[in-house]
Structure 1
Amino acid sequence: MSAFACWLKKEGNAVMRGIQTLNQLSKRCYAATRIAPLSEPLVSPKPSSSVARPAQDVQVSKLPSGLIVASLETCSPVSKIGVFVKAGSRYEPVGNLGVTHLLRLASNLTTKGASAFKISRGLEALGSTLSVTSTREHMVYSLDFLRDDFDSVIEYLIDVTTAPEFRPWEVSELTSRVKIDKALAEQCAQTSVLEKLHQAAYKNALSNSLYCPDYRVGKITGDHMQEFVANNYKSARMALVGVGVSHSALKQVAEQYLDVHKGLGMPGDKAVYRGGELRVQNGDSLTHTLVACEGAASGTAEANAFSLLQQLLGAGPQVKRGSNVTSKLSQGIAKATTQPFDATAFNVSYSDSGLFGLYTIAQADSTREVIKAAMAQVNAVAGGAISGEDLARAKGQLKTEYLMVLESSDGLLEEIGIQALTSGAYSSPDAAAKDIDSVTSSDVINAAKKFVQSKKTMASRGHLVNTPFVDEL
């Protein structure tokens, strides 16, 4: 027998002995559990007396540099932190449009403290997730992680927000991703119409798109991105927010890493509403339209009135996968046409302006009837057709919708961050509910009158053969 065959036989015998040992081990473990006599009753372990933790309130601190630190200690094993920056697309200068789109995609690129590979693998090893979202007013960098890994993950968040390098070869590779984002946005009719609405409604600032303009794709360099970061990522324009994190630990991180970028940054232009119309003619079988007026700035009493008007008219199904037949818009339009349609009230608020209007989806040959029937419902409310029961229902729906947003960690983090960055404080859900309850029917009627009487903006997309122009409404 060869030496190799002898070795193989020897190893095989060893493996078999190991398997037999494992089999005997299970029997021995089973026998060990039979030591206590079976005649004695089994005693259930007493439940551990857990100490009830008192409810925590949101804590907000403002550092001398203007940096806001806000946190809510939930004692959860999973934590979430975010850096909020007043650096949305409205702050893009005319010569640097589209830069925030690339910043949103460049969150995992090489920084001064870590390579792109290290950031990706380091967060993956910790089971953490880094995400970046942007609005017209804010850039938000958020991180989900296990509570015990706070010291390990915070360095990645700091590097991404305060020390990006924007190496030319990495920035150039973002071009393909920008094109994909734009293609997806253009395919989504709702996103496309919403972008057109902002473009037509404002002269500046809020007219800037969330997506890079076609003529700028591939032309934004690392220097453009670095310039925008240097002008806007300042302590006075930032907030560090945490959910499930100690406030003292979060404040220490802010003082050590984020408080060094002092300054006010470049002031943004005040949004100027102008009204107008943009139409996109194509071969789609459905026509999407948005008719809006200037609404109210966030945090104002008028904003609450517009929010209630939205609920009163119909803000979408109240039941998952349900219909919207109970809304005033749907009830009114159903009397004007027998063809399928969808109609909801639209409302969005910014720091210095807002938009309120009607969003309709209809067949091309019934679009005019659907839009006019929807407008008639707002005219009815402006004329006083609002009952106490309708107002109470709208208030209940609005409060429920607001509280449901706070149920998720993402929604809670965003609400705390936006409030803290805008006002330097946080208003509790109880206070928000009281503000909603304080709105009267007269306030809602005045909001409807503003829509009827104000200069309007309209954006439409589809086969527009039977779509009215804004001056015909």
Structure 2
Amino acid sequence: MNGAVDLPLGQAELSFEATGGSRVRRSVLPSGVRVLSEQVPGSRSATIGFWVAVGSRDEQHADASGPASLGSTHFLEHLLFKGTPSRTALDIAISFDAVGGEHNALTAKEYTCYYAKVQDRDLPMAITVLADMFTSSLLDPGEFETERGVILEELSMAGDDPADVANERFFQAVLGAHPLGRPIGGNTGTIQAATRGAVAEHYRANYRPQDLVVSVAGAVDHDELIAELGRALTAGGWNLDEPGEPVARRAILPAALAPGQPLTVVERPTEQVNLLLGAPALVATDERRVTMSVLNAIFGSGMSSRLFQQIRERRGLAYSVYSFAPAYSDAGLFGMYAGCAPAKAGTVALLMREELDRLARDGVTADELRRAAGQLAGASALALEDSDTRMSRLGRSELTLGEFVDLDEALRRVARVTVDDVQALASDLAAQPFSLVAVGAIDESAFTGAADQLAPSTDVA
């Protein structure tokens, strides 16, 4: 292929060759189910995912339209493994354990995925079991209460991890009341308040043929996949002959965000302070996402990055320090992280801010741009050695982007990024209102006098 491939919801069939000779095929079934496969030459295993474009951001507070669904997405992630009319929870576990396979699920802010990785000969089994789970979960009342306890323990475990706490508070600080600012897994209150009825309604409303995306990468034959999937979904009670249209993708207009919380301090008796500093950034479909990848590689990804060199190598103020840039359909973030001693937290926060200002003011060098392109090329190529990555690429392409961007095309886009592009984006980021989150043995006095220096920059252009 020579460029990106659009994935129109109304196009029934697509087929093309990707980098390395893999064959990508996509079918939109009459019922609205979307099936994507990437057949990788020489592969002896396959990874399969069942996706829905429903995540924690889609849960609702109670109102006139119905009961609260907060926590339902996380509940379903657990409950779909807990039995169907034809399989117990133990049966599901044994199906994969008996063949050395892996199976799990993940809840994200904008989607949920149930996935498995197996040998090629066991792919029909994986299709059958995942389809049974997806279509026919019992949501047993007893299992519901058992999983309530399990989820509360999971949240307690995350609450004991200061890095997890800092990450959750960072999203809340930057995104505020936007649904993306809510914790993915819910919190103790929402999980305790969740009812089986609300979770069952969430299941019925969002786990339908028109919601389902199935992606498979590795040793897979597309025609056999369609046949196996059809049999499995029909056995689960779905009428695949009933016409339906895939659900529309999310709107891509950036949301109007209220100003973030400037400073959040959570006191914990830890040896280190977990610091996060950042601001609103680009949405997932912004054309500058490629520039953001280059900027992030230069600024805070890897041991040669500016943050690593300035804060760890030259000053020895932190062991772990990096930047990141998650993106969603209508909002995104740019963040910087460091773990450091409480006495150094104020200094580290200012250094992170100053380094971004320097990037915005002075730009990057041609050599840095070249190294970033090489880093992105190598990391992308190595990641695609794993069928999990290829399966996820297919799923995210279908759910969010509406286009498949192959490795060659991705690298061409990186090669078109200029030093001016990076500096312009850095200037835009530096002008945003920043939020600082600190979790550890510290209080707000550690950042006294830093407010003005952490404020949006106006003199970096």
Q: TM-score, normalised by structure 2?
A: 0.82
Matched letter for residue 327 of structure 2: S
8 Å Cα contact 1:96-1:224 kept in structure 2: yes
Which AA in structure 2 matches 1:238? L
Matched length? 412
| Distance change (3 Å), C-alpha of 1:424 and 1:237 | farther
Q: 1:414 aligns with which of 392, 400, 417?
A: 392
Q: Indicate which of 179, 194, 215 corresponds to 1:205.
A: 179
Checking the alignment, whether the CA contact within 8 Å between 2:350 and 2:453 is kept in structure 1 is no
Whole-angstrom distance in 2 between the partners of 1:376 and 1:259: 59
Which residue does the alignment assign to 2:134? 161
Q: 2:257 corresponds to which residue?
A: 273
- Gap change, CA 1:367 and 1:154, over 3 Å in 2: same
Q: 1:221 aligns with which of 185, 189, 195?
A: 195
Residue type at the aligned position of 2:37: S
Q: In 2, are the aligned partners of 1:240 and 1:254 still within 8 Å (CA)?
A: no
Q: Extract unaligned runs of 5+ from structure 2.
A: 1-19, 62-67, 455-461
- Aligned: 1:60 with 2:60: no
Matches within 5 A, 1:39-54: none
Paired position in structure 1 for 2:447: 467
| Percent of residue pairs identical | 23
Aligned letter for 2:51? F
The 5 A counterparts of 1:63-462 are: 63-74=29-40, 75-94=42-61, 95-202=68-175, 203-243=177-217, 244-255=219-230, 257=233, 260=240, 262=244, 271-274=255-258, 275-277=260-262, 278-316=264-302, 324=303, 326-333=304-311, 337=315, 339-462=317-440
Q: Partners in 1 of 2:123 and 2:309 — Cα distance? A: 52
**Deviation of 1:255 (Å):** 4.7
Distance in 1 between residues matched to 2:435 and 2:283, nearest whole Å: 17
- Aligned residue for 2:404, secondary structure, equals coil
- SS at 2:183's partner residue? coil
CA separation of 1:329/1:249 partners in 2, compared to 1, >3 Å: closer, same or farther? same
How far apart are the structure 2 equivalents of 1:189 and 1:246?
A: 45
Counterpart residue identity of residue 156, structure 1: V
Aligned-partner SS, 1:344: strand
Residues 68 and 421 in structure 1, CA contact (< 8 A), matched pair in contact too: no
Is the contact made by 2:312 and 2:321 (CA closer than 8 Å) also made in structure 1? no
What's the TM-score once normalised by structure 1's chain length?
0.80
Equivalent residue, structure 2, for 1:7: none
Letter in 2 for 1:93: Q
Q: Which amino acid aligns with 1:249?
A: E
Taking a change above 3 Å as real, the CA distance of residues 298 and 236 of structure 1, as seen in their structure-2 partners, is same
Kept after mapping to 1: 8 A contact 2:318/2:338: no
Q: In the alignment, is the contact (CA less than 8 A) between 1:60 and 1:425 conserved in 2? A: no
In 2: Cα distance, 1:76 partner to 1:145 partner: 11
Q: Deviations over 1:343-388 (max 9, x none)?
A: 2112111122211121122211111111111211111111133110
Name the SS of the counterpart of 1:349 in structure 2.
Answer: coil
Shift of 1:461: 0.8
Whole-angstrom distance in 1 between the partners of 2:160 and 2:297: 28
Give 1:347's aligned amino acid: A
For residues 428-460 of structure 1, give each alpha carbon's deviation from its aligned partner in whole angstroms, at most 9, with x where no partner exists: 110111111111111111111112111223322
Once the two structures are superposed, residues 248-306 of structure 1 have per-residue CA deviations (whole angstroms, 9 ceiling, x without a partner) of 12223455527749566799797543322432122222111111111112243211111
For 2:349, what is the secondary structure of its paired residue?
helix
Residue type of the partner of 1:233?
A: Y
Deviation at 1:334, TM superposition (A): 5.7
Letter in 1 for 2:295: L
Query: Which has the larger Rg?
Result: 1
- How much is the aligned-residue C-alpha RMSD, in angstroms? 2.6
Q: Structure 2 counterpart of 1:392, which letter?
A: R
Matched residue SS, 2:110: coil
What are structure 1's unaligned runs of at least 5 residues?
Answer: 1-53, 317-323
